[in-house]
Amino acid sequence: MNSGVDKDHNLATADRLVRAAVDAGAELVLLPEKWNLLGPTDELVAAAETIEGPSVEAARAWAHDLGIHLVAGSFLEKVADSDLPYNTSLLIGPSGSVLASYRKIHMFDVEVGGVKYRESDSSRAGSRVVVAEGPAGLPIGMAVCYDLRFPEIFRLEAERGARLFTLPAAFTATTGRDHWEVLLRARAIENQAFVLAAGQIGPAPPHFESYGRSMVIDPWGTVLATAPDAETVVVADIDPTAVDRIRASLPSLANRRPIAYK
């Protein structure tokens, strides 16, 4: 997606793309980070919604009406006890129920390509790693964008049973060119799990330029599908038994020696 500050337009686009994914056979659909609105700090905070708000309501309706599991990218979740919202990713089941909620742990406070980013000005950091049950009981580890640079999250999720990771993102064009695929494949290889990564693409105010290249990667680190440089849908078949085969033949997770890592 190429989301901007027009929330109605973003929801209409997401509706069209989710339906296109399902038409192509998708049973698990992932939207990008801040799919419902991406823009300046003040507009992000002003547009934050509770979990009962219109964006989540739309996502729940898509999952229910289409009979799919939907990871509703991330949105800014308004909470009663804070002036700042969380950057929250939701797993929604075919019944339309919210099955799991993950609040982004790592805030993107950096300077890259001559641009300063201060996510902590618009979002509050979460503190809990989340693994939830997806289609056919598949354990899903949840993360968001900048979390990709912190392998601890993915290893903890793998230890808690995750066999597939979801990563909604708005990765910058500057870092994406050099780091996006490398880091996604690394998280897949070192944890021997599938990675689904959905990225924003293109410009958004005030200075965002997102890399795109949404990907599906298998537990061997092979890229099964990559989105072109356009707003679109990318679909791949995954075989969950591949996780068992790879972990059995190359048992790096079982060969870990945590006593030596303290």
- Three-state SS at 11: helix
Catalytic site residue 159?
no
Looking at 33, 49, 119, 157, which residue is catalytic? 33
201: which 2 tokens?
């693409």
For 233, half-sphere exposure in the C-beta direction (CA atoms, 13 angstrom radius) is 19
Looking at 7, 49, 78, 145, which residue is catalytic? 145
Residue 237 near residue 24 (C-beta atoms within 8 A): no
Catalytic site residue 152?
no
Catalytic site residue 145?
yes
**Which DSSP string corresponds to 91-146?**
EE-TTS-EEEEEE--S--EEEETTEEEEGGGT-B------EEE-GGG-EEEE--GG
191, with CB counted inside 10 A (0-12, 13-18, 19+), is: buried
52, with CB counted inside 10 A (0-12, 13-18, 19+), is: exposed
Looking at 34, 49, 104, 157, which residue is catalytic? 104
216, with CB counted inside 10 A (0-12, 13-18, 19+), is: buried
Cα–chain-centroid distance for residue 70? 11
Known catalytic residues are 33, 104, 145
